[in-house]
Amino acid sequence: MKLVSKNFDVPDSHKLAVCEQNGGYTRIRKALEMEPQTIIDEVIAANLRGLGGAGFPAGRKWSFLPKDNPKPRYLVVNADEGEPGTCKDKYIMTNDPHLLLEGIMIASWAINSHTCFIYIRGEYVKQAKILEAAIAEAKAAGYLGDKMFGKDFPLEVVVHRGAGAYICGEETSLLNSLEGKRGWPRLKPPFPAVEGYLACPTIVNNVETISYVPWVIELGGEKFASLGSERNGGMRLYSVSGCVKKPGVYELPLGTNLKDIIFEHAGGLFEGRRLKAVIPGGSSSPVLTPDEIDLPMDFDSLAAAGSMLGSAGIIVLDDTINLVEALAVLARFYAHESCGQCTPCREGTGWMRKILDRIVAEGGRSVDPANLERIAKNIIGNSICPLGEAASLPVIGFAAKFPEEFAEYVARGETAKPSTTAVAAVI
C-alpha cells in the first residue's frame, strides 16, 4: 500500500493539474468542514508520530498550543534533511509538493495558523524551486493567499532556505536561524509550542509527518493507526543505502521487520558478501549486529533494542567495510557539524575525531576504546541539543559491539614506532 509515495512514479506529479487528477486537495476540502479540534483528535487517534527523528506524537504536540495566548501562531515545516543515510523528504518535495502543501493547509486550519515557513536545507536547490512553483500554482488557483478555498482563512506559505548547517535540523536551532540569528539550539523549556518563532506559539513538524496528515483525514484516525503497529500509526518512508542490491526509499507500514526490509525489499546483499552491521535510523542511531536485526522497525521496538528509529535511514554494512574507518568518517562529520555552543560537545567531538583519525592512520593503543567510550559518555546529557548524543552513540556502539575491529588497529599500533605527530599525541 502506498500513501505519500503513491504519485512518485506519475509523470509531472509535481504539477497542480496532475496532483488534482490523482486526488489532491480533496482532503483539505473535507477538513475545512471539520472543527479544528476534531482534526487534532483524529491526528491523536491516528498515532501519527513525528517522523523527523524524535517520534513525538504529532497530535499531542498540536494540543500543547496555549489556548489563551493572543499572539499569532506559526507552523514551521522542518525540511532541513541533513541526517546521513536519509533522503526521504527530498522525494516528497520533488515528486508531490502539493501533498505537502495540502498537509500544511490542514495543519494550519487545525492549529489556527495563518503563516507557515518551510525551512529547507540549502543544498536542496531543486526542491526549493519546485516548492516555490507549487505555492505559486496554489495561489493562482485560489487555494492559498487571502482566502483558502474561498473560506475566510488567509494562509501564506514561505520557503526559507538554510545555509547547510546540520544543527539547524534541531527545531530550536532552526527557529533561531529562521529569525536571522546564529543557528544555535535553545534551552527548553519553554518549548516551541509555547514560545517558538518570534516568541510566539509555534508547531514544528517535518515534511514526512505533515505529508501524512491528508491521509489521516481521508482514512480516519483509527484506520490510519491500524496500518502500523501499536502506538506507531500508519506508514513511513524507509531510506535504505549501503551494501544492498536495491538501495532506495520504500514506503512500508511502521513495524515492518528490519530483516525483511534489507533482504526482501532492498534485494539483500551482493553475492558472496556477509552482513556485518546495520545502522537502523540514520547515522546517529546506535549500530546493530546481524543477530539483532530480526525486529520491527518502529520507535518502541528499536528503543527496546537499545537503538532508535530516528529518521529511518537504514545503512547496511557488509564484510567489505572497515568499521573503524566508517566510524572515523562519522566522527569527522559530527565534529565538523557541532555548533560549538556546548563545551562537552565542542571539545568531545573533536577529541573523538582526532583519536579515530590517528587510529586509522597510524594504529591504535590499548586505551583507545575505553577513552573513546569515556569521552562519549561525558558528552551525553551535557549538551543543550541532541547533537552531542548523535555524535556519541555511534562511537559507544561500534566500540562495544565490534571490539575485534579495534583490536586489529591496537595490535598494529603497538608494534609500530612511536609517532611524534600532533594528532598521535591525543589521549
According to the model, what pLDDT value does residue 412 have? 87
pLDDT less than 70: residues of the chain: 416-427
Whether 385 contacts 344, CB under 8 Å:
no
Tell me the pLDDT tens digit for each residue of 257-297. 999 999 999 999 999 999 999 999 999 999 999 999 999 99
Domains present along the chain, CATH in parentheses: 16-226 (3.40.50.11540), 235-318 (3.10.20.600), 323-425 (1.20.1440.230)
Alpha carbon of 390 to those of 170, 193, 338, 395, 396: distances in Å? Answer: 11, 24, 10, 9, 11
| Amino acid at the residue 96 | D
Task: Report pLDDT for 420.
Answer: 45
Between CA 419 and CA 100 the distance in angstroms is 55
pLDDT score, position 413? 82
Ramachandran area for residue 170 (φ above 0: left; ψ -120 to 50: alpha; else beta)? beta
pTM of the model: 0.94
